[in-house]
Amino acid sequence: MARLDHLESLEAQSVYILREAYRNLGRLGMLWSIGKDSTVLLWLAKKAFFGHCPFPFIHVDTSYKIPEMIEYRDRVAKELGLELIVHRNEEALSDGMGPDRGRLACCKALKTDALASMTKKYGFDGLIVGVRRDEEGSRSKERVFSERDNDDLWDHTHQPPELWGQFKTEFPKGHHIRVHPLLEWTELDVWRYIGREGIPIIDLYFAKGHERYRSLGCAPCTAKIKSDAATVDEIIAELALTKTSERAGRAQDQEDAYAMQKLRQDGYM
């Protein structure tokens, strides 16, 4: 029999990780950012659990998201019968928090802090997140099962080894594990997989009027790129030629050289 090809191997490994998380972590949830990566994750979960989704999907809603994302979220959740948890940092929002208060402050309050309070509120032991190693520097150091302490902090210098697919499943109460099934995938892998599987993703990624989104986030902080790629195949062709990085349109990454690392140490996804 032929060997598995690259995408088949990635899929098999991600399915394995999802099943390890479901088996070993008590209360489990999946963060769903509506973007292409977490939509691929959702697809993989359906495969892992034979059409079922045995945990809730969580959307940390900053209230500044691109409106089409919210509409897409609610439609897909309904179609697939997902248990959806939408969580906002209401306190910060009623206090007027927004990008004009500083991008990093805004990200911290509406994403990092919101995520932390959501984790506590629902008592999650495990959160599945669709980050990839190739996205930006600090994510390249991640583990597949990455422990967060009571304050959601990530101690990236003292991470235990992940030997032979034996992931971290022992941890003190109050800590939780961020599970990263897509860690080994690249942006191009994700698109090739979307193309091959025919995964329905939000159409903000496809060019209209010579522009499209390459990465999705909050409306005020996410820029479109110049592009005529209107299909998955055209996006793949475009990516094969590009020399700019995926998150170039995401303002919080560009603030300073270590912005993302700081955000992530504090618990950002």
The single-letter DSSP state of residue 28 is E
**What is the spatial distance between Cα 100 and Cα 123, in angstroms, rounded to a whole number?**
32
Pick the piece of the chain touching other proteins (CB under 8 A) from 58-66, 73-81, 170-178, 223-231: 170-178
Out of 246, 251, 252, 268, the residue judged to bind other proteins by CB under 8 A: 246
- Residue 19 binding other proteins, by CB under 8 A: yes
**What is the spatial distance between Cα 249 and Cα 231, in angstroms, rounded to a whole number?**
20
H helices present in 25-89, as ranges = 36-48, 67-80
- Residue 231 phi, psi (nearest 5): -135, 165
How far apart are CB 68 and other proteins at their closest, in Å?
Answer: 26
- Residue 37 binding other proteins, by CB under 8 A: no
- Residue 16 binding other proteins, by CB under 8 A: yes
List the strands of the sheet with 28-31, edge to edge. 84-87, 57-60, 28-31, 126-128, 176-179, 145-148
**Any idea of the CA torsion for 5, 6, 12, 17, to the nearest 10 degrees?**
170
- Residue 125 binding other proteins, by CB under 8 A: no
Element (H, E) at 59: strand 57-60
How far apart are CB 103 and other proteins at their closest, in Å?
Answer: 19
How far apart are CB 4 and other proteins at their closest, in Å?
Answer: 7
Residues of this chain, 175-234, that bind other proteins according to CB under 8 A: 184, 186-188, 233
Q: Which is nearer to other proteins, 133 or 224 (CB)?
A: 133
Out of 162, 203, 211, 228, the residue judged to bind other proteins by CB under 8 A: 162
Q: Which is nearer to other proteins, 134 or 266 (CB)?
A: 134
- Residue 1 binding other proteins, by CB under 8 A: yes
For every residue of 74-123, DSSP letters joined together read HHHHHHHT--EEEE--HHHHHTT--GGG-HHHHHIIIIIIHHHHHHHHHT
- Residue 6 binding other proteins, by CB under 8 A: yes
Q: Which is nearer to other proteins, 17 or 118 (CB)?
A: 17
How far apart are CB 85 and other proteins at their closest, in Å?
Answer: 21
The angle, 0 to 180 degrees and rounded to 10, between the axes of the packed helices 36-48 and 187-197 is 60
Cβ atoms of residues 119 and 176 within 8 Å: yes
**What is the spatial distance between Cα 217 and Cα 178, in angstroms, rounded to a whole number?**
20
Cβ atoms of residues 15 and 48 within 8 Å: yes
Q: Which is nearer to other proteins, 80 or 219 (CB)?
A: 80
- Residue 159 binding other proteins, by CB under 8 A: yes
Q: Which residues bind other proteins (CB under 8 A)?
A: 1, 3-9, 11-13, 15-16, 19-20, 22-23, 46-52, 54, 133-138, 140-141, 156-157, 159-166, 168, 170-172, 184, 186-188, 233, 236-237, 239-240, 242-246, 248, 257-258, 261
